[in-house]
Amino acid sequence: MSFKSIVRELKEMKNGIGSISRRREVEGRHWRNRTRSHIAPDVVPFDPNQQGQWANIPPELLLDIVHRVEESETSFPARTAVVYCASVCKSWREVTKEIVKTPEECGRLTFPISLKQPGPRESPIHCFIKRDRANSVFRLYFGLTPSENVSDKLLLAAKRIRRATSTDFVISLVSDDFSRASSTYVGKLRSNFLGTKFTIYDSQPPSDVAIQHRGRLSRRFSAKQVSPTVSACNYSIATVSYELNVLRTRGPRRMHCAMHSIPFSSIQEGGSAPTPTSFPQSFDERPSKAKVPAVNISSSVSVPSREPLVLKNKAPRWHEQLQCWCLNFKGRVTVASVKNFQLAAAVDPSHNIPAAVQETTILQFGKIGKDIFTMDYCYPLSAFQAFAICLSSFDTKPACE
């Protein structure tokens, strides 16, 4: 059987064609409707214990097939073929997860957990955000700019919820379900009353530290509302602060981001950033409700104190001819906006960090059209962290501009 025939049959299996029964075809269609906007489904659409005929392929041949698919399909939508390999059966899934590297190593996004992993060190990952004013929804897509003929790959979505004393941006893997009780919930961003300080919460703890609970537990859901496998905790991982500018005498916005989950040592020589390898409980490990008691409490917790990585916005320069503040976005931003910014590491001279590292733009965000913005990020930020920081720019800040 040729390589193309194998890939084609994998696609047919994914779409519920061939040896899969009609019942599984319906279930597969339901699953695709729920995960069409994902980078890739992190689960198999059928019972992984039922391996099927493809599980009997010799290990050497299986490794060769997955290696060839992973190396040849480097961008979406063609990279979906890698997901098909992980969806065949449990043995294929394990081999695929072993072969597919993290964004830091290969510069590519594949599975949903890639959104929680640091970006590449050499070149940024290019994304763009579309704002839906009518529904207060913000969608993060993969790619340089919106495409005209091909449907864009949705990475994350957020919904703004205004409250009496704060504003929440609930972040999800899909754009039609923003419930914290949902398995697609990945975190949130919360502002203070003035919109000058924002806290980023993650649905899972940082991968390399022990979490300390702080504050009393608060009851958010009843026992019937929360699935046993859905994390009911929010972990404070970062804060975004904007300097007050009531008299508007300080020029553009000034912001600082304290990344509590990323140590400052991550940008030093030989340093590394926390890299989660999976969500707390994978969908395919979901136990039955009869075996596990329901979780009915939630809490906000924070990581232990340590020297965090702090990001600050690059100061723009005043252009006399244009009579405006300017930054070099290298062609990625084309419309002047108070929301535009570039973030770099805030480094103390005593740290002896090379000048090239200090000048590296870790995150940049800017407007290119009506309700369309670009977002480029790189190591040590993840797509989720970068998206949450950019969302803070959309909130109203009357005291900062």
φ/ψ (deg, to 5) at 15: -85, 5
Q: For residue 85, what pLDDT is reported? A: 86
Distances in whole angstroms, Cα of residue 65 to Cα of each of 61, 92, 215: 6, 10, 51
What digits encode the pLDDT tens for the residues 147-184?
776 678 899 999 999 999 999 999 999 999 999 889 99
Q: Using the predicted structure, report yes or no on whether residue 23 has a pLDDT greater than 60.
A: no
CB 236 within 8 A of CB 301: yes
pLDDT at 277: 87
The predicted model gives 81-87 an average pLDDT of 85
Q: What residue type is assigned to position 378 of the chain?
A: C
Residue 59: its pLDDT value, please?
A: 86
pLDDT single digits (tens) 129-151 = 999 999 999 999 999 888 776 67
pLDDT in tens, 209-229: 444 443 333 344 443 444 444
DSSP character string of 291-335? TSPPP--BEEEEPPP--EEEEEEPPPEEETTTTEEE---TTS--B
Examine the pLDDT at 234 and tell me if it is beyond 70.
yes
More confident residue, 144 or 32: 144
Across residues 222-244, what is the average pLDDT?
69
Q: What is the per-residue pLDDT across 375-398, written as a single tens digit (0 to 9) for each? A: 999 999 999 999 999 999 998 765
C-alpha neighbours within 13 Å on the C-beta side of residue 153: 20
Instruction: Yes or no: say if 187 and 384 are a contact pair by the CB < 8 Å rule.
Output: yes
Q: What is the pTM of this model?
A: 0.79
- How far apart (Å, rounded) are the C-alpha atoms in residues 353 and 50? 53
Specify the pairing of strand 324-326 against strand 299-302.
unpaired
Local structure of 103: helix, strand or coil: helix
Contact 126, 141 (CB under 8 A): no
> Measured between alpha carbons, how far is 86 from 98 in angstroms, rounded to an integer?
10
